[in-house]
Structure 1
Amino acid sequence: MKKKVRCTAGVFLCVMLLAGIAAGCSGGSGGKKILRVGMECSYAPYNWSQTDDSNGAVKISNGKEYANGYDVKIAKRLADAAGYDLQIVKTQWDGLAPGVASGKLDAVIAGMSATADRRQTVDFTDNYYKASIFALVRKDGKYAGAKGIADLRGASCTSQQSTVWYELLKQIPGAQVQPALEDATTMIVSLRAGKCDVLLCDKPTALAAVYANPGLAKIDLSEDPDLKVPEEQTNIGIAVKKGNTQLRETLNRALAGISEKERGQIMDEAIRQQPIAGQTPKTGPDRSDDFGYWVKNLLQQYGGLFWHGAGVTLILALIGTLIGCAIGLLVGVLRTIPKPRKRTNLLLKILYGILQFLLAAYVEIFRGTPMMVQAMVLYYGSMSLLHLDMSPMFAGFFVVSINTGAYMAESVRGGIESLDPGQTEAAEALGMTHWQTMGSVVLPQAFRSIMPQVGNNLIINIKDTSVLNVISVTELYFEAKSAAGGTYKYFEAFFIISVIYFIMTFACSRLLRWVERKIDGSGNYTLVDLDAMADPTGLNPVRKRGHNGGMHRWGK
């Protein structure tokens, strides 16, 4: 038992050491300052992921792929003009604002509108793009001939969450407003699938969507007098940390060197270069809805990203579960320490009460809050409050471990309490301490009963690591979103990763079942005759069933 504890502790320390090294390793080339720019890398034509550096793509700092698009091209121009080394940090939309507010990111260049609400959290530069509002409809739909929002009366509509577009939907007469969707690619897929009639978005998103999806049509609402769009909602700026006037002014000076005409040309170039443009056959049969073709195409183009994401997911789940089990084992044993007797020193009673309260609080808090919330509080909060700059992987290991530990603590406690209390009483009668009883009597038996729960937690962690993209962890789900973001092939991309997830979970469950059988031991055993046990020579034969006074041999 002690050997197992030492091994587990060694693994824990190694992981913490490696993650700590990763957290502290940063730097630019040639002594230049680094400009850490956050973006989704799945929002064509503003930004997307690709597998090589073609068309001037930039390596993503927290992934294996490259980023390109309008935002990347602008970021390169700004970094060059200001004398920075550009570092692209791939982050989910919900993590961009907290990232720049906490200082994890220096700037966000991701098509973010400079609204009054956002200005309360971050500062914005001058506009780097001026948006105009468009609607998207299906060419074969009832609203294909619409010219303005008056013609969209009664339409089922939606848009992207946390954007100005979604707020404008209520101006459509009689609109059936659906819940907001996670990103632009998701809402375009929803429109193509017939889940809604109308989408609101900006001009680049509409142009890119129509370019990639011939079955869609765009409606220019920029001159529609019935649509009231506040000026601030069309201003797309670069977000920087509140109060960082030096960086804001530096970026503004660099932006001033890029004319409006140049910006338009850069956007047109980005639309032509988006991944879907080079993957749709120009001749032959229409393959826009050919499921098999796109599955094969995505595997060829983004197979490396899928396997990289699967590797990150598996490492996080395996090591996080291992460390979590060690934490749960320790907490579970501590929570079963008997309450001090009445004659025990008062100080010990107080310490016992504090310990039990803290352990119960740990279990209830981490079982009662979502892992995504824990990740954002730890990753961004540690930077904002403690100025502790964790790497995404370190934060991921930490969150998965402590979350798993809270669940395993209850499993361990339940396994211990399920045993016959007479065994503990007998151990105490022999003079064994609580820790001796746990290590030599209780835990060896309880461990077998909690093994299925270890497997359940491992499988849950493989799936739940998908929420860690909000802290820039490039796990499997995030990589799939990147592939889908550049091609608008959400169903095909998620079909691929659903197969990968199933392979990982099924393999892990089979492996743990094999471990359980090994722990159970052989199914063949022999019950020995009492006379044979008493025979010091061991030569008394074992009698078969039917012999008087004897026991039979079991097994094959």
Structure 2
Amino acid sequence: MRTSLTSLLQRVADSRNQVLSVIAVALLLLLTGGAIAGTAQAATIGKSSVEGQTFTIATDTTWAPFEFEIDGELRGIDMDLINAIADDQGFTVDIKSLGFDGALQAVQTNAVDGMIAGMSITDERKGTFDFSNPYFDSGIQMAVAKDNGDVTTYEDLAGKTVAAKNGTEGFTFAETLGKEIGFTVTGFQDASDAFNDVTSGNSVAVFDDFPILQYGIETGEINLKTVTEPERASSYGFAVNKGQNTELREAFNEGLKNVVENGTYQGILDEYLGDGAPDATKISGGVVTLGNEVIEDDGPGTLPKNPLFPVDTPQDKGSFVIATDNTYAPFEFEQNGETIGIDMDLMRAIAANQGFAVDIKPLGFDAALQAVQSGQADGIIAGMTITDERKEVFDFSEPYFTSGVQMAVADGDTSITGYEDLAGKNVAVKTGTVGATTAEELSTEYGFTIRTFSDTADMIAEVQTGNSVALFEDFPVLQYGIQQGNGLMTVGDPIEGGEYGFAVLKGQNADLLEMFDAGLANAEDTGVLDTINDRYLGSEEESGQLGFFELVVAALPSLMVGLGYTLLATALSLVFAMILGLAFGFLKISKNLLLRGIASTYVNIFRGTPVLVQAFFFYFGVPAVTGISLDALTAGVITLSLNAGAYITETVRSGIQSVDPGQMEAARSLGLTRGKSMRRVVLPQAFKIMTPSLINQFIITLKDTSLLSVLGFAELTYQGRIVIASTFRSFEIWLVVGVLYFIVIYLLTVLSNYVDKRFNK
């Protein structure tokens, strides 16, 4: 029933990303042994064509009664149904709880085989997904507080305020109805916040999917009552990527038919929805049962038209690329593959409230600033303090958070009790922050040395290891980190800091800035902003830490995804680098002065400048001049290809020139042309000489992919930083990352040496 970010995700998941994802997975499986060969053979007889196979299925995380967790086990209508169908059809499912938007992305990039997450079947989504037959017909219902006897019909809402979850059909229905009757709709990021708004008396009613309300009332989790019959809405379906996994979808349809006929599905519905459960045999049939009301339908796959309810109304205010930091909890950090935090929740809530879509790009703070300035992003929200200096470059929204700077030291360190104890010592700060500015001002007075870092996680690790005795950071970041067990404690009171704002490039995207301010005002008036802040800053209790092996198990999936991207970037870069190296290598030994000059210029430029500078040039500089945007992978591959190609050029030149000139003369004396002499006599000997240098360059290029993390490219180092940002376990995570790099490089070295011995005997 949710439409938030769907249209954006459909545009992002183009065919190129699908191909790259397949290549990355294939490389990863090749590296780790790929022990899944047996599952590729589908049975030709038996229950279905997918019997014996295992499929990865994505789902939401907290959307009771369809998917939710009880005692560590994922339960719900969707979960029980997919398992029942799997049993009926003889296949196995591996459930991945990713969140609704994360599940959509996972299907579109082929990271999973399908998804089941209370997903409405709409014409818009059919452009990206292939759906099963509908397995649930939903509807929108109104609920009020249990003791409210004044609101029993829609007309009773006139002049009042109602609540709904942003991005849902319930919100769209309430907005449309509100214009006709004359009431105000307050949007919330979570359904639970909308329910609480009603029980607290701020809103008189809430609109949501009837099964959500039915389950909450049945279990006593929400203190509400329904007062209207459900309005007909969309049907839910199981989805696969368009044109793929056809046999899985067909098996789902066949299994759904069977579990409906044998009564298994009715039992599942009854378990979660009680007396309000619909008749499983009438879902998407000639008659649709909603709660206790029977509504005539137009037949399978069609929806009755309701003038008050435009289903999945597309957002018409545009789509915007929003850059952000990637390791700045609690404002932005990654958890379970999704970028979350105060800034992220607020940005998405405002987008839903104002009717535009956002594509979040977690790049790191410095890179995010450059992305906006170069036109790679439309705006930035990253705990960014509004300053007069920044106002020269950016236009800011109204402030959404007032912060302050605080000093922190290692937990248990009693030697630092005030600024005067910092004299002669090192203090860590993060580049471009108010904390850094504050520390610089204090260092002049108290005589300490400043050490600057690009990530909060690196700054914290600096203090944990004792290289610096203290750090300066925004107090909410410290508060959240201490809750998560980052090993620090605050000293003294916060120094009054600045205000955070959303920013666009000066003089541009004025409409986006205006919509942000309007949405922010709504969020402040309705309490949504306070709810979001409380979600991340409300608790003062410190969370328990995972053990080392528990941490590794939790972090390994993300790290392996990063490893796959590392191998992909390395493979592509080496292919193009070899082509460039061979071409310019021959130019270097040419007798033509111009050709040698071109080759020498290329080599001198790319061997004489740092890889990081080259990466920034292609990712930020080229788009700023040409207007042609490059994604992180493309810019990274171009950078590594040109850089490695320059070194391979010299390897090719020296290899050819190392062959005794007499070999060429002897070949020519036998009547061979210069070209044939080079190809058949000189080059085979030159490649034997070049092989060790080429192997070394391959390894260097693989390690250089770690530099692409500054562009937001999700390779292994980037994923390590993401995990550290939410766990604050630098030593353990970097140890695991180092081991993974070592294994890959060791295997690459063994393979290269084998090839060398095999072909250069």
TM-score range normalised by the length of the shorter chain? 0.7 to 0.9
Q: Where does residue 386 of structure 1 map in the other structure?
A: 626
Q: Where does residue 256 of structure 1 map in the other structure?
A: 521
Do the aligned partners of 1:191 and 1:199 also contact (CA within 8 Å) in 2? yes
Do the aligned partners of 1:295 and 1:496 also contact (CA within 8 Å) in 2? no
Aligned equivalent of 2:426, options 134, 153, 156: 156
1:455, 1:326 → 2: CA distance?
A: 16
Matched, 1:270 2:542: no
Do the aligned partners of 1:144 and 1:217 also contact (CA within 8 Å) in 2? no
Do the aligned partners of 2:580 and 2:642 also contact (CA within 8 Å) in 1? yes
Q: Cα distance 1:446–1:397, how it changes in 2: closer, same or farther (>3 A)?
A: same
Alignment of 1:174-189 (within 5 A): 174-189=446-461
Q: Where does residue 479 of structure 2 map in the other structure?
A: 207
TM-score of the two chains, using structure 1 as the length reference: 0.75
1:89, 1:333 → 2: CA distance?
A: 41
Alignment of 1:100-249 (within 5 A): 100-143=372-415, 145-146=417-418, 149-150=419-420, 153=423, 155-170=425-440, 171-172=442-443, 173-213=445-485, 215-222=487-494, 234-244=498-508, 245-249=510-514
Do the aligned partners of 1:35 and 1:79 also contact (CA within 8 Å) in 2? no
Q: What amino acid sits opposite 2:432 in the alignment? A: S
Matched, 1:508 2:748: yes
2:577, 2:652 → 1: CA distance?
A: 12
Q: What does the per-residue CA deviation read over 1:299-330, in whole Å, with 9 as the maximum and x for residues that have no partner? A: 22222110010011012112211221121011
Do the aligned partners of 1:38 and 1:105 also contact (CA within 8 Å) in 2? yes
Aligned equivalent of 1:317, options 570, 574, 577: 570
Q: What amino acid sits opposite 1:267 in the alignment? A: N
Q: Where does residue 35 of structure 1 map in the other structure?
A: 320
Q: Where does residue 299 of structure 1 map in the other structure?
A: 552
Do the aligned partners of 2:417 and 2:492 also contact (CA within 8 Å) in 1? no
Do the aligned partners of 1:132 and 1:222 also contact (CA within 8 Å) in 2? yes
Deviation, structure 1 residue 177 = 1.7
1:506, 1:410 → 2: CA distance?
A: 25
Q: What amino acid sits opposite 1:39 in the alignment? A: T
1:238, 1:446 → 2: CA distance?
A: 58
Q: Cα distance 1:433–1:395, how it changes in 2: closer, same or farther (>3 A)?
A: farther
Q: Where does residue 656 of structure 2 map in the other structure?
A: 416
1:423, 1:443 → 2: CA distance?
A: 11
1:210, 1:17 → 2: CA distance?
A: 40
Q: What amino acid sits opposite 2:698 in the alignment? A: L
Alignment of 1:81-100 (within 5 A): 81-100=353-372
Do the aligned partners of 2:408 and 2:471 also contact (CA within 8 Å) in 1? yes
Deviation, structure 1 residue 504 = 0.3
Deviation, structure 1 residue 211 = 1.6
Deviation, structure 1 residue 363 = 0.7
What SS is found at the alignment partner of 1:126? Answer: coil
Q: Cα distance 1:248–1:330, how it changes in 2: closer, same or farther (>3 A)?
A: same
Matched, 1:468 2:713: no
Q: What amino acid sits opposite 1:268 in the alignment? A: D
2:478, 2:406 → 1: CA distance?
A: 7
1:471, 1:405 → 2: CA distance?
A: 21
Q: What does the per-residue CA deviation read over 1:186-233, in whole Å, with 9 as the maximum and x for residues that have no partner? A: 21222222222221111211211222238532235446xxxxx7xxx6
1:153, 1:323 → 2: CA distance?
A: 53
Alignment of 1:401-440 (within 5 A): 401-430=641-670, 432-440=672-680
Q: Among the aligned pairs, what percent are the same residue?
A: 28
Q: What amino acid sits opposite 1:495 in the alignment? A: L
Please, which moves more after superposition, 426-435 or 160-169? 426-435
Deviation, structure 1 residue 183 = 1.4
RMSD: 2.9
Q: What does the per-residue CA deviation read over 1:118-160, in whole Å, with 9 as the maximum and x for residues that have no partner? A: 33433322222111111112342234544xx456555532211
What SS is found at the alignment partner of 1:98? Answer: helix
What SS is found at the alignment partner of 1:132? Answer: strand
2:427, 2:657 → 1: CA distance?
A: 55
What SS is found at the alignment partner of 2:597? Answer: helix
1:431, 1:243 → 2: CA distance?
A: 71
2:487, 2:568 → 1: CA distance?
A: 41
1:113, 1:220 → 2: CA distance?
A: 22
What SS is found at the alignment partner of 1:258? Answer: helix
Do the aligned partners of 1:295 and 1:493 also contact (CA within 8 Å) in 2? no
Q: Cα distance 1:184–1:311, how it changes in 2: closer, same or farther (>3 A)?
A: same
Deviation, structure 1 residue 429 = 4.1
Do the aligned partners of 1:143 and 1:197 also contact (CA within 8 Å) in 2? no
Do the aligned partners of 1:131 and 1:236 also contact (CA within 8 Å) in 2? yes
Do the aligned partners of 2:423 and 2:448 also contact (CA within 8 Å) in 1? no
1:395, 1:142 → 2: CA distance?
A: 48
2:692, 2:395 → 1: CA distance?
A: 50
The gaps in structure 2 that reach 5 residues or longer are 1-14, 24-107, 110-123, 126-313
2:736, 2:537 → 1: CA distance?
A: 26
1:254, 1:448 → 2: CA distance?
A: 66
1:15, 1:254 → 2: CA distance?
A: 34
What SS is found at the alignment partner of 2:453? Answer: coil
1:267, 1:313 → 2: CA distance?
A: 36
Q: What amino acid sits opposite 1:240 in the alignment? A: V
The gaps in structure 1 that reach 5 residues or longer are 1-13, 52-64, 224-228, 282-287, 340-351, 522-556
Q: Where does residue 459 of structure 1 map in the other structure?
A: 699
How many residue pairs get aligned? The number is 454
1:438, 1:16 → 2: CA distance?
A: 41
Do the aligned partners of 1:82 and 1:254 also contact (CA within 8 Å) in 2? yes
What SS is found at the alignment partner of 2:452? Answer: coil
Q: Cα distance 1:446–1:153, how it changes in 2: closer, same or farther (>3 A)?
A: closer
2:399, 2:438 → 1: CA distance?
A: 21
Q: Cα distance 1:118–1:355, how it changes in 2: closer, same or farther (>3 A)?
A: farther
Q: Where does residue 345 of structure 1 map in the other structure?
A: none
Deviation, structure 1 residue 248 = 1.9
Work out which structure has the larger RCO, using CA pairs closer than 8 Å and 6 or more positions apart in sequence.
1
Q: What amino acid sits opposite 1:390 in the alignment? A: L
Q: Cα distance 1:78–1:302, how it changes in 2: closer, same or farther (>3 A)?
A: same
What SS is found at the alignment partner of 2:523? Answer: coil
Q: What amino acid sits opposite 1:160 in the alignment? A: K
TM-score of the two chains, using structure 2 as the length reference: 0.56
2:498, 2:392 → 1: CA distance?
A: 18
Q: Cα distance 1:304–1:214, how it changes in 2: closer, same or farther (>3 A)?
A: closer
Q: What amino acid sits opposite 2:587 in the alignment? A: L
